[in-house]
Structure 1
């Protein structure tokens, strides 16, 4: 699809001073770890503190944190690189990631906050049979979080490799391992409260840094957006790689450069868009953010603030993407370690020199650390709260036991994400995140919407929908050209691809909705009408949010 092969023979120009770069990086890590340790001046033994920061954040604070959670390495490195290389087709990521928030705001944010307590499974199992639904929801959470983590690890490897001009595979792998270790430290030290403060600071720094880069682009171009697009087309016209592939410079401004050659690529374009728009409302680490505020009103306020920041950011990525194409050029970008993921730091060097590149890259690195910390907390909370406590211990586990299991899970997930992140280092990170969105939209969103808005929905329908969406999306990803069958696949030397689309959403999402409907009509009623009534009242009014649920 849009994977970039590492060009070993070329050395990128302008990667700055490696000593300065690493010094700025270390300074950022020390500062953020200090903030985490100060905020969490004692270890979290209370599950509410560890998972949700005690629900003590305001809507504005949580909106900043949501933006910090959402604006990941994929948003900055992957989108800028994709637009720089593919133009209009790359901008689909910006549009999809942003528009998706309308679904979360209008359909999910408030009722989810009113019904749940810690995790997405609290909502899905509220009026259904607890154990089987929690297990299915926890599995969906773990796989979505894992795919998202892989993208962040790959982005971190690309970022540091550009700054230090590292082309060696093993050196880049060591970078990914260090990121994973620091991420584990963030979560173990600070829990949700420490991670949230880092995400708030990081959101301000990232949006501010991107804003400064955008201003500097127009200072350098001196001609507005039209001049920027002309310059990008001129640079692409002189590119050996683009010319060899038979594209015209004007293709940067119209659909088709990446997705238009065959019917399979065109359907992949539709599938990707569907996954991005529907995926946000099913992302467990984003949904968990709604529990860090005290009321549903603050949850809505969180989303509004997040939309403002996220919308401004994605509009600016359009400018930065074409600016990277115009000022850096596709040849230099693809020759850098990490391929397309190197576009943003190389553009920063062009605009402000070595120090500016180091600062922007350090902010991007802090972005990676904060996002992977949030993902690790979500995955660990799901396993400890939904599987260990609710299923294995029948709800009798103490909060200290749950936190202990969560901490152990963070370590295991961190190690696993390091290994898979190393294997995916040369993938475009925006594409890797889109796979997580596809799984979330397939495995989680249908059941969330049915649980909240369809009174007849039952356990059989929930299990059919979640397992159909999860298994189908994972199988289709594994047998797609994204993993094998092409020179740019994750496993370029093999070919077991029989599914022609690079994104599974177009098939998996509708079938997951259909499975939920069929399973509901064929399955036995749960006979939990009193809980359906209570859930409806809670979701609409917030009354009784703190009361326990009696199954």
Structure 2
């Protein structure tokens, strides 16, 4: 099947988002009310609201609210990071990608995973030693607070906004499809719940929501994979050979390269996924919830293990769906729709291996994944406004903690209202590109500034500002001028920028801009910023030394 890259992104990054676009998967059809799914989802919501109440009693300071007081262990944080990263996209989208295209699904699974050991092992320890609540604490450590925090906050808010739209639309479509409820009701419900988690429970509640969701998702996926392997006597060779026999593509499903025909777009997408992960504000915030750099390293180790295991499961689930759904007469019609590009392979397989009760469980877990992700996104957005903009830029580091928390909670409510409004506004729009743009901006604006601030002694505020804004603006401009928006949405005949994703060029613009405008900065301020690198390096390695604010 020749799938456009926009469809691939929708499948691999946020499958439910693609249901919003007829161009990708067709209109969503309302299903009969799934009582089992609703009951299990209500139980999840009730349990997590109980955790939120418990967490609210323990939030006594900004450190408690933003970073759970640094009391989360490496294992817990690793599980929470995995919960943050294992979205409905990964579960539904990649398993559907394997179902429709076979081996290519494994390639995309590995693409998601490879960024973790390479990037986060590189920055996790330094991030924890240098930062306090947000990654802007690190990026601005030896540079000018106002300029760098403003850039970092803007990059964070753009990423959060784009990701929230995709999550909200996906939530509405998912609950409409699986539960048979109204789209607007689902969007409002998600908005209210995410505000409650963040407003009252802060990072502690958000962490435990993500942990519970991760455990449920891993348990459900493990059971499905176990039942699939049991059906073929735990023989992978038999699983693949039988899948080849029943799949319309035959042996082609074991050959790579069938989904992406344009190498430039593929390379840009790969760069965005790999380096964008290390620039996502809600992921980076998680490293401030542990007590020290050692626990931060443990977090990455456990997160990589959980995520890697999960992607192996999605690969088995995809091939299992080929075998069990395609050959089961009860699912004949469903199998035809799935081969045509529908994203519900995992859901149909759940019904095949566990009946309606397990289908209800998987449906509820899929929706719970969205709740966990939007809570983390909302907290990241609120902290960018309250900690970076209000406390550090407007109040110049002299804000009263009580006022900072008040601004954070006002921002949380505002983000909830905006997210609901945008979720309703974009209901019928193709929003798959927004996720790609979010990763591209994270890779082109947040990541270069963060990386070079920690590792390059010649970095100056001028270079970081100009290069960072160049990366952000280039990513947005090229995405607008590309095929997805310029042709598909705006209706022009030909795209000005011919490729699907901008990260290859926007990252290049950011790094070149940062390098050039830093090395040509001969100002006194620039020399002072270079001189502070040594004290920053010592603190990044040991956690000891003057704070970034004190260094100024």
Alignment TM class, shorter chain as reference: 0.7 to 0.9
| Alpha-carbon separation, structure 2, partners of 1:200 and 1:504 | 33
2:535 paired residue number: 534
2:67 paired residue number: 52
Q: Is 2:126 aligned against 1:111?
A: yes
Alpha-carbon distance change, 284 to 95 in structure 1, aligned in 2, over 3 angstroms: same
Alignment equivalent of 1:273, drawn from 270, 273, 294 = 270
The offset of 1:389, in angstroms, is 1.1
Q: Deviations over 1:224-280 (max 9, x none)?
A: 33343344445541xxxxxxxxxx4443322333212xxxx3322221112112122
2:151 paired residue number: 136
Alignment equivalent of 1:32, drawn from 48, 52, 64 = 48
Alpha-carbon distance change, 136 to 509 in structure 1, aligned in 2, over 3 angstroms: same
2:166 paired residue number: 151
2:307 paired residue number: 310
| 1:33–1:186 contact (8 Å) kept in structure 2 | yes
| Alpha-carbon separation, structure 2, partners of 1:474 and 1:59 | 36
1:243 paired residue number: none
| Alpha-carbon separation, structure 2, partners of 1:431 and 1:351 | 34
1:399 paired residue number: 401
The offset of 1:380, in angstroms, is 0.7
The offset of 1:9, in angstroms, is 8.2
2:188 paired residue number: 177
| Alpha-carbon separation, structure 1, partners of 2:475 and 2:491 | 23
Alignment equivalent of 1:521, drawn from 519, 522, 525 = 519
Equivalence map 1:176-325=2 (5 Å): 176-222=187-233, 224-237=235-248, 248-260=249-261, 265-325=262-322
2:3 paired residue number: none
| 1:159–1:341 contact (8 Å) kept in structure 2 | no
The offset of 1:10, in angstroms, is 9.0
Q: Deviations over 1:461-497 (max 9, x none)?
A: 11122111111112222232333524xxxx3866674
| Alpha-carbon separation, structure 1, partners of 2:397 and 2:28 | 58
| Alpha-carbon separation, structure 2, partners of 1:228 and 1:428 | 35
Alpha-carbon distance change, 11 to 384 in structure 1, aligned in 2, over 3 angstroms: closer
The offset of 1:529, in angstroms, is 4.5
The offset of 1:429, in angstroms, is 8.8
Greater shift after overlay, 387-396 or 522-531?
522-531
The offset of 1:155, in angstroms, is 3.1
Alpha-carbon distance change, 176 to 331 in structure 1, aligned in 2, over 3 angstroms: farther
| Alpha-carbon separation, structure 1, partners of 2:324 and 2:426 | 28
1:507 paired residue number: 505
| 2:141–2:549 contact (8 Å) kept in structure 1 | no
Q: Deviations over 1:118-176 (max 9, x none)?
A: 1111111111111011000001111122222233223323332222346xxxx324322
1:483 paired residue number: 485
| 1:151–1:433 contact (8 Å) kept in structure 2 | yes
The offset of 1:350, in angstroms, is 1.8
| Alpha-carbon separation, structure 2, partners of 1:450 and 1:82 | 36
Stretches of structure 1 lacking an aligned partner (at least 5 in a row): 238-247
* TM-score w.r.t. length of structure 1: 0.88
Aligned length: 525
Q: Is 2:97 aligned against 1:82?
A: yes
| Alpha-carbon separation, structure 2, partners of 1:46 and 1:10 | 45
| 2:72–2:289 contact (8 Å) kept in structure 1 | yes
| 2:321–2:346 contact (8 Å) kept in structure 1 | yes
The offset of 1:45, in angstroms, is 5.3
| 1:84–1:343 contact (8 Å) kept in structure 2 | yes
Alpha-carbon distance change, 455 to 226 in structure 1, aligned in 2, over 3 angstroms: same
The offset of 1:311, in angstroms, is 1.0
Alpha-carbon distance change, 345 to 271 in structure 1, aligned in 2, over 3 angstroms: same
Q: Is 2:123 aligned against 1:123?
A: no
Alpha-carbon distance change, 417 to 17 in structure 1, aligned in 2, over 3 angstroms: closer
Q: Deviations over 1:38-82 (max 9, x none)?
A: 23226x452111110111111112111111112122222222223
| RMSD between aligned residues | 2.8
| Alpha-carbon separation, structure 1, partners of 2:402 and 2:146 | 21
| Alpha-carbon separation, structure 2, partners of 1:184 and 1:342 | 29
Stretches of structure 2 lacking an aligned partner (at least 5 in a row): 1-5, 11-17, 327-331
* TM-score w.r.t. length of structure 2: 0.87
Q: Deviations over 1:368-409 (max 9, x none)?
A: 111111111111101111111111112221111111111121
| 2:105–2:315 contact (8 Å) kept in structure 1 | no
The offset of 1:28, in angstroms, is 1.2
| 2:36–2:361 contact (8 Å) kept in structure 1 | no
The offset of 1:427, in angstroms, is 8.5
